[in-house]
Chains A and B, each alone.
Chain A
């Protein structure tokens, strides 16, 4: 039986009826058409599906859409403002923090929570905050530099 849910995504309110077993990531991608959130492993390991729910980084492949009823979500699409990249996005561009780009949305969302809580993380703290995100192109070094770039820019 479908049930109604109401979620705020990137500041916009959406109301839909969903099957309880629908995963949150499927809701975002297939119902709302927000394909910036990726599905990598579908087993809560890789972090590609990371979004923010009520300010906390979570893996949306391991959440039901109905669990997010009433929540505020932030996805990749909500970061740029008026055509201007968010400092973390800019960092990944400037510092070559991506190769194929598949892991990038998840990396950026996980980094987003880190920088909200810790404005100037050191390398160890960045690596710990991104522990739940895999990059199969293994560009971790530049990913760390990208986050450092963003931290510097935000603090300026």
Chain B
């Protein structure tokens, strides 16, 4: 299968990519790992006239300790995030999510920036960055803009990014000593995408949950924080009973529109959300 014809441009810097983007406007698409874009181009669901390659830009692949937060270059492949000692020590949630994306070959090519910009409703990172309370740095011709993650995912395959912006950095706060996190997913048996994925970050003080952040992917048109589960756990001890009670509230918000497809009905997805909330929280409880 061949994509439709296009012109290929390899950008050597973010600036060069930005000027190519403004030159070709809507006819252009960035390509990073290409593991979402190329399958779409092969099926002719995407037919950009210009493809701007940002994969080999020096300085978009890094994981750096900046004190309060860890900075991840948008071009960093999943495999590097999975294996990062720094992330495993200071914000393991990202490594945990990266480790269950697709398969080793996908993780070698796909990038965190590409995954977030693509905003597939069944992708793994969106739940992780929401629960991590990440900040996303978008670079445009007029400079940088920091987007709080809760404003980033707009709708199915839609983000707050402007067409002429490049996602350049993802900042995730380092966790404290009394914080644990986990990511669990129910992978689609063929595609491996998340039918339901649950990311959680829990902080304990005096044996009670002082901060609880739970996010789901795969359930609705975008990943979301589930405040119903979060509120039920706040100020509670983290026991199998409290977890059971809180997890039962997952995906029950009236405004939530749960996805349905030939693999999973709405009811089944809601059920899976509860099951995976419970499993994720139990994993966290056993890590304290």
| Neighbour of B34 across the interface among A21, A62, A113, CB < 8 A | A62
CA distance A43 to B1 in the complex (A): 9
Interface residues of A in 53-90 (CB under 8 A from B): 56-59, 62-64, 66-67, 69-70
Given the known interface contacts A62-B34, A62-B39, A64-B34, the answer about A45 and B109 at a Cβ–Cβ threshold of 8 Å is no
Q: B38 on the interface (CB 8 Å rule)?
A: yes
Asked if B109 and A63 sit within 8 Å, CB to CB, the answer is yes
What number of residue pairs across chains A and B have CB atoms under 8 A from each other?
A: 76
Q: B118 on the interface (CB 8 Å rule)?
A: no
Q: B3 on the interface (CB 8 Å rule)?
A: yes
Interface residues of B in 45-64 (CB under 8 A from A): 51, 53, 55-56
B75 to chain A, nearest CB (A): 13
Residue of A nearest to B31 (CB): A67
Q: A110 on the interface (CB 8 Å rule)?
A: yes
Asked if B38 and A110 sit within 8 Å, CB to CB, the answer is no
A109 to chain B, nearest CB (A): 9
Residues of the A chain whose Cβ atoms lie less than 8 Å from the Cβ of B38: 44, 62-64
Most chain B beta-carbon contacts within 10 A, residue among A45, A62, A64, A133: A62
Residues of the A chain whose Cβ atoms lie less than 8 Å from the Cβ of B103: 47, 131-133
Residue of B nearest to A1 (CB): B7
Q: B35 on the interface (CB 8 Å rule)?
A: yes
Given the known interface contacts A64-B34, A67-B55, the answer about A59 and B105 at a Cβ–Cβ threshold of 8 Å is yes
| A1-41 interface code vs B (CB 8 A; 1 in, 0 out) | 10100000000000000011111000000000000000000
Given the known interface contacts A62-B38, A64-B8, the answer about A44 and B106 at a Cβ–Cβ threshold of 8 Å is yes
Residues of the B chain whose Cβ atoms lie less than 8 Å from the Cβ of A66: 8, 10, 53
Q: B287 on the interface (CB 8 Å rule)?
A: no
| B1-16 interface code vs A (CB 8 A; 1 in, 0 out) | 1111111101000000
CA distance A150 to B80 in the complex (A): 26
Interface range for A:
20 to 34
Q: A50 on the interface (CB 8 Å rule)?
A: yes
Asked if A20 and B102 sit within 8 Å, CB to CB, the answer is no
Residue of B nearest to A21 (CB): B3
Residues of the A chain whose Cβ atoms lie less than 8 Å from the Cβ of B6: 20-21
Residue of B nearest to A54 (CB): B108
Residues of the A chain whose Cβ atoms lie less than 8 Å from the Cβ of B8: 3, 20, 64, 66
Residues of the B chain whose Cβ atoms lie less than 8 Å from the Cβ of A133: 103
A52 to chain B, nearest CB (A): 10
Asked if A69 and B1 sit within 8 Å, CB to CB, the answer is no
Residues of the A chain whose Cβ atoms lie less than 8 Å from the Cβ of B39: 43-44, 62
B228 to chain A, nearest CB (A): 34
Residue of A nearest to B191 (CB): A45
Residue of B nearest to A44 (CB): B39
CA distance A102 to B8 in the complex (A): 32
Q: B145 on the interface (CB 8 Å rule)?
A: no
Ordered by A's residue number, 16 sampled pairs between the chains whose C-beta atoms are within 8 Å are A20-B7, A21-B6, A42-B42, A43-B42, A44-B38, A45-B191, A50-B105, A57-B104, A58-B108, A59-B109, A63-B38, A63-B109, A67-B31, A67-B34, A67-B55, A114-B104
